Structure 1
Amino acid sequence: MVKYWPCKQGMSLNHEVAHLFAYIKQKFNGSLSNRTNDNLYIDILNNSVKYRLFSIILVELEILILDLIELNLSIKTIKRLNYKILYDLIQKVVAHFLVEFHVNNYPIILIKGQQYSYLQIILAEYKWLLESLLIYLVFGSMYIDDDIFVFDPKYTPVNHIAILLENLVIQVSNLVIFMILENLKSLSNIAIFLKNNQLCNVSYISIRSLAVFRNSLICQNWIYLYIIQPKYIYSSRYKVWLISSKGLVTKYIYVDRLDDFIKLSRPKLILVALIELQDLVIPQFEKFLLIFIKLILYILVNVFGNGIVIFIRIIRLVIDNWLK
């Protein structure tokens, strides 16, 4: 039986939030290895460090929710301050993470630069990363806009909130490690930081492996920003990261991305037009190619078939004449 998220504030909502956080925290005990073909910045960490980082994010999110309730902010204000709330959450998680691992000699400055493809990806999707989740956790499902997701807000499955929360934990942890690595700048500094603080996954011990890892992420982020993300926006899809029994996996959920589509730059809109053209042209081209191949085969079969028959008849006539 499908269990639905509470519609409004009250004891029922408080109970569900507490139960959800406990459920997600329990999932951290399993494998946290990346089981997808996409790289994450947190892949550089070992499983134990990932567990502690994920736990820190849950703690800071709990504090954030309590602060929002205490400040009695309206939904309109939360939507307006959504980016700042996310920024502050990342800042607090970074500080908490460094304290947790007794790292005091690495001052971290949060990066806001547009030159990073990864940050541009986040800026295009931060609304889906935190805003809806906060409304669910603080106010209840009935305050979500009707056209954002595929179901009636009053009948929002609990599993949907769990998906949003797991995605937030993984993506914020990824942002935190990205910020730390970019502050360290050089590969040698990154290697020293990881080894000295015993954070490193054994796959990334050498500077060469770190260089390959970093370059693959830069390339992946560029492709996602200019090719994959516009396609998802056009298709009203949002990629979420989840914790499965085998490790970290990705799924796709429907969201209304009309506002995101309107904000697409001209090169990205051209790409969307090419995708539309591809959807129109390729099926027709495939049909034409299939008919053309059948025609060629028909001609070949008939020409060679008749040619072989004539050739056999000629040979028989030659043999008959020779025997006479």
Structure 2
Amino acid sequence: MVKYWPTKQSIYLNNSIVDLFIETEKKFILVKYNKSNQYLYLDMLSTISRNKLFKYIINDFKKLILDLIELDLNVKKVISISNKIRNIFIGKVSQRFLYQLKYKKIEWENKKEYEHSCNDLLQYLLIYLIFGSSSIHQNTFTFPAIYTPYNHVKILLENFIIQIANNIIKEIIYNLNYSSNINIFLKNQNICNKLYSSNRSIILFLNNIKWQNFLQSYIYDVKCFYSERQQIWLLSSQGMITKYIHISNLEEIKKMNQLKTVFLFWLETKDLIIPKIEKLLVQIAKYFLYSSLNLLSNLFLIIIKILVFYLSK
């Protein structure tokens, strides 16, 4: 039997949120490695350090939800400030994570790109947790809003935790600037994944992840927008894995820069023109094959007639 998420603010919604957070926290200790074929900045941390960061995120997120409920904001207001909420949240948890490590040498400089590059689906998660499923736009997901599966909200929370944790480590690395500083930081704080214990391995990792993020941003994300899919990260017994969910991205498409828009236009053109070109080429090939066979059969008949003519003499 499918369990659905509560449709509006109620005791049932409050209980569902409590259950959701408890179930998610239990999964932290089960997740050992990144089992996807993609790099995460999180990969630089040891499993213990990563799980600590996950706990900081989920604990602060609980407080954030309570604060937003207490402010009694409407849905439109929550959506409009969701990017600011994300930036403040990342900065706050980052500082808390560093404070726990007793590391004060970073001159903190917040990055401003999260509102455009983060795929944590925060605004939808906030709406589900604060207002219930009936406040989600009807055409956002494949199912009716009032019949939102409980597991759907669950995977949104897991994706949010992983994405935020990844952005926090990205932010820390950005502020450390140099691979030598990163290496010293990871080793001195005893939070390093042994795979990235040298400057060379860190440089190689950062180059790989930058190239991956470039391709992700300008090719794969655009393809996902075009096909109305969204890659999300999940916590599983196998490790951190990726899946895709269907989501309407009309508003996000409007925010795309020129290069991404050109690529999207190319995808649209490709889907319209290439099938017609393929049909034309198939028809030409069929005509050419038919003509060739017809020509060969005629030549064969002529040769036979010539042979018969000479043999009959």
Moved more, 272-281 or 89-98: 272-281
1:197 to 180, 189, 192: 189
User: Matched residues in 1 for 2:298 and 2:31: separation?
Assistant: 66
Tell whether the 8 Å contact from 2:7 to 2:133 is kept in structure 1 after alignment.
yes
Q: Name the structure 1 match of 2:103.
A: 103
Say whether residues 1:135 and 2:114 are aligned partners: no
Which residues of structure 1 form unaligned runs of 5+? 113-118, 309-324
Q: Name the structure 2 match of 1:15.
A: 15
Tell whether the 8 Å contact from 2:118 to 2:163 is kept in structure 1 after alignment.
no
Q: Name the structure 2 match of 1:207.
A: 199
Aligned partner of residue 121 in structure 2, secondary structure: helix
Q: Deviations over 1:167-217 (max 9, x none)?
A: 100000011000000100011000000000111111111111111111111
Aligned partner of residue 198 in structure 1, secondary structure: coil
Structure 1 pair 196/284, CA: closer, same or farther in 2 (3 Å)? same
Q: Name the structure 2 match of 1:158.
A: 150
Q: CA deviation at 1:123?
A: 2.5
1:229 to 212, 215, 221: 221
Q: CA deviation at 1:289?
A: 5.9
Q: Name the structure 2 match of 1:124.
A: 116
Percent identity of the aligned residues? 40
Q: Name the structure 1 match of 2:79.
A: 79
Tell whether the 8 Å contact from 1:32 to 1:50 is kept in structure 2 after alignment.
no
Aligned partner of residue 59 in structure 1, secondary structure: helix
Say whether residues 1:30 and 2:30 are aligned partners: yes
Q: Name the structure 1 match of 2:52.
A: 52
Q: CA deviation at 1:283?
A: 3.8
Tell whether the 8 Å contact from 1:136 to 1:144 is kept in structure 2 after alignment.
yes
Moved more, 202-211 or 103-112: 103-112
Number of residue equivalences: 311
Q: Which amino acid aligns with 2:132?
A: G
Q: Deviations over 1:39-74 (max 9, x none)?
A: 111111111111111111100100101111222222
Q: TM-score, with normalisation over the residues of structure 1?
A: 0.85
Tell whether the 8 Å contact from 1:83 to 1:126 is kept in structure 2 after alignment.
no
Aligned partner of residue 231 in structure 2, secondary structure: strand
Q: CA deviation at 1:278?
A: 2.2
User: Matched residues in 1 for 2:106 and 2:280: separation?
Assistant: 62
Tell whether the 8 Å contact from 1:243 to 1:249 is kept in structure 2 after alignment.
yes
Tell whether the 8 Å contact from 1:82 to 1:127 is kept in structure 2 after alignment.
no
Q: Deviations over 1:263-319 (max 9, x none)?
A: 2222222211211222234444555666777788889999999999xxxxxxxxxxx
Tell whether the 8 Å contact from 2:133 to 2:145 is kept in structure 1 after alignment.
yes
Say whether residues 1:178 and 2:170 are aligned partners: yes
RMSD: 2.9
Q: Deviations over 1:7-27 (max 9, x none)?
A: 111211111101000111111
